[in-house]
Amino acid sequence: MPNKTQQINQQMRGDSYMSTDTVTEVVATGMPRIGDPAPDFTAVTTQGDINFPGDYEGSWVILFSHPADFTPVCTSEFMTFASMEDEFAELNTKLVGLSIDGLYSHIAWLRTIKEKITFRDMQNVEVKFPLIEDITMEIAQKYGMIMPGEDSTKAVRAVFVIDPKGMIRTIIYYPLSLGRNFDELKRVIVALQTADALSIATPADWRPGERVIVPPAGSCGTAQDRVEGKEDGVTCEDWFFCTKEVTEEEVYAAIGK
Ligand code: BEZ
């Protein structure tokens, strides 16, 4: 018999095992999905109260959770996020953190980071983006940030990328022991914005300046034109796999940078 977490995973994947308990728990967990509106909430943060996602309309947001204040992996992540805040701001992207700790713990931890911690070449780092207190776990539960198989009283390292209309566009989860890759988080923002602006898709490991994927042909005629090389600048490996060049400059112009 699978344990509760396995049962829920099976249920999410559509596997055959299902019990009434499982269904109830999945519904109660209510994990948001890509393409859903970001669940709304109001919260107390280190930068004052926020109304989410309403206060962030018109901006991209990275809403992320971390397991606990005063822990080393989280500290390294906060210093990295804080040192990249301007880079994200240039991409019209705001940062919002969350953990199941209280406001005074957050404040004390962020002061300690600034006063005492050096990580790589970062020191005297001030975290200026809001850090949500969520001692009731209400927001963490709403966003599916608690994974009981990993830890039932700490949020995992969840990342929700939310677009200017408040829609969830990417979800990434990391376990407690694994610090996030911040180049990847920035790459995700640039790739999503580029896909929106140019109506293209981005292939594996894509970086600005590399060829992008042209959406699949929607008719037999277009498919034929493509393989015959009739579409300007489009190169096809086969009718379903076509790419075109978009320079780095064109990417940044398209996303308004
Ligand atoms: C950390 O951030 O260092 C950490 C937090 C929870 C569990 C393991 C590591």
Is 81 part of a structural domain of the chain? yes
Instruction: Identify whether residues 94 and 149 lie together within a single domain.
Output: yes
Q: Give 214's Cβ-side CA count (13 Å radius).
A: 22
Q: Dump pLDDT digits (tens) for 123-163.
A: 999 999 999 999 999 999 999 999 999 999 999 999 999 99
pLDDT for res 186:
98
Q: Give the residue, by CA position, lying nearest to ligand 1 atom 7.
A: 176
Angstrom distance (rounded) from CA 87 to CA 41: 27
Instruction: Identify whether residues 40 and 122 lie together within a single domain.
Output: yes
pLDDT for res 111:
98
Q: What is the side-by-side order of every strand in the sheet holding 234-238?
A: 212-213, 241-244, 234-238
Q: How far, in Å, from the CA of 79 to the mean position of ligand 1? A: 15
Instruction: Identify whether residues 141 and 125 lie together within a single domain.
Output: yes
pLDDT for res 23:
37
Is 157 part of a structural domain of the chain? yes
Most informative mutation of 101, 176, 180 for ligand 1 (most atoms within 8 A of CB): 176
Most informative mutation of 70, 73, 147 for ligand 1 (most atoms within 8 A of CB): 73
pLDDT for res 230:
85
Q: How far, in Å, from the CA of 202 to the mean position of ligand 1? A: 33
Instruction: Identify whether residues 97 and 206 lie together within a single domain.
Output: no
Number of separate domains in the chain: 3
- CATH assignment of the domain containing 38: 3.40.30.10
pLDDT for res 9:
35
| Residues of the chain falling short of pLDDT 50 | 1-20, 22-27
**Does residue 206 contact residue 212 with C-beta atoms inside 8 Å?**
yes
pLDDT for res 231:
84
pLDDT for res 226:
84
Residues involved in catalysis: 74
Q: Which residues of 101-127 are buried (b: 16+ CB within 10 A; e: fewer)?
A: beeebbeebbeebeeebebeeeeebeb
Instruction: Identify whether residues 137 and 13 lie together within a single domain.
Output: no
Is 72 part of a structural domain of the chain? yes
**Reported pTM:** 0.88
Instruction: Identify whether residues 109 and 213 lie together within a single domain.
Output: no
Q: What is the side-by-side order of every strand in the sheet holding 157-162?
A: 48-52, 41-45, 131-133, 93-99, 60-65, 157-162, 168-174
**Does residue 131 contact residue 97 with C-beta atoms inside 8 Å?**
yes
Q: Residue 174 is encoded by which pair of tokens?
A: 């990391």
**Domain containing residue 90:** 31-180
